[in-house]
Amino acid sequence: MPSGTQSARFGRGRNPEPTVDPANLVEALKQRALALGFDPVGVAAVPGGPRMELRSAALVRWLQQGDQASMAWMADPRRRAAEALLPGVRSLLAVGLNYHVAAERPRGALKVARYGWGRDYHRVIDGRLRQLGRWLEAEVPGCRWHACVDSAPLMDKAWAEEAGLGWIGKHGNLIHRRKGSWLLLGHLLTTVALPPDRPAVPLCGSCSRCLPACPTGAIREPFVVDSRRCIAFHTIESREPQLPAGIAGQLQGWVAGCDICQEACPWNQQPLESSSDPDLAPRPWWLSLSADALEWSDAAWDEHLRASALRRIKPWMWRRNLRAALGRPEPEPVRKPLPRVEEP
Q: What is the mean pLDDT of residues 271-286?
A: 95
Q: Tell me how crowded residue 261 is: count the other CB atoms within 10 A of its CB.
A: 27
Residue 181 lies in a domain: yes
Per-residue model confidence (pLDDT) at position 11: 37
Higher pLDDT, 137 or 18: 137
Same domain, residue pair 56 and 186: yes
Same domain, residue pair 32 and 132: yes
Same domain, residue pair 134 and 247: no
Q: What is the mean pLDDT of residues 142-149?
A: 97
Q: What share of the chain has pLDDT > 90, as a percent?
A: 88
150 is catalytic: yes
Same domain, residue pair 282 and 171: no
The one catalytic residue among 39, 67, 120, 150:
150
Residue 243 sits in which domain range? 210-326
Same domain, residue pair 269 and 147: no
Count structural domains, the chain: 2
Residue 284 lies in a domain: yes
Per-residue model confidence (pLDDT) at position 15: 61
At 281 the three-state DSSP class reads coil
Residue 340 lies in a domain: no
Residue 231 lies in a domain: yes
- Rounded distance, CA 140 to CA 187, Å? 18
Residue 79 lies in a domain: yes
Report CA-CA distances (Å) from 321 to 111, 144, 305: 11, 43, 16
Same domain, residue pair 214 and 183: no
Per-residue model confidence (pLDDT) at position 85: 97
Flag whether pLDDT at 22 surpasses 70.
yes
Report CA-CA distances (Å) from 123 to 94, 99, 258, 275: 16, 14, 22, 18
Cis, bond preceding 77 (omega within 30 deg of 0): no
**Which of these three, 190, 222, 239, is where a domain ends?**
190
* Mean pLDDT score of the chain: 92
- Rounded distance, CA 243 to CA 240, Å? 7
Flag whether pLDDT at 343 surpasses 70.
no
Residue 344 lies in a domain: no
- CATH code, domain with 38: 3.40.109
3-state secondary structure 172-192: CCEEECCCECCEEEEEEEECC
Flag whether pLDDT at 61 surpasses 90.
yes
The answer to pTM > 0.85 is yes
Question: Given pLDDT bands bounded at 50, 70 and 90, which one contains residue 49?
Answer: very high
Flag whether pLDDT at 68 surpasses 90.
yes
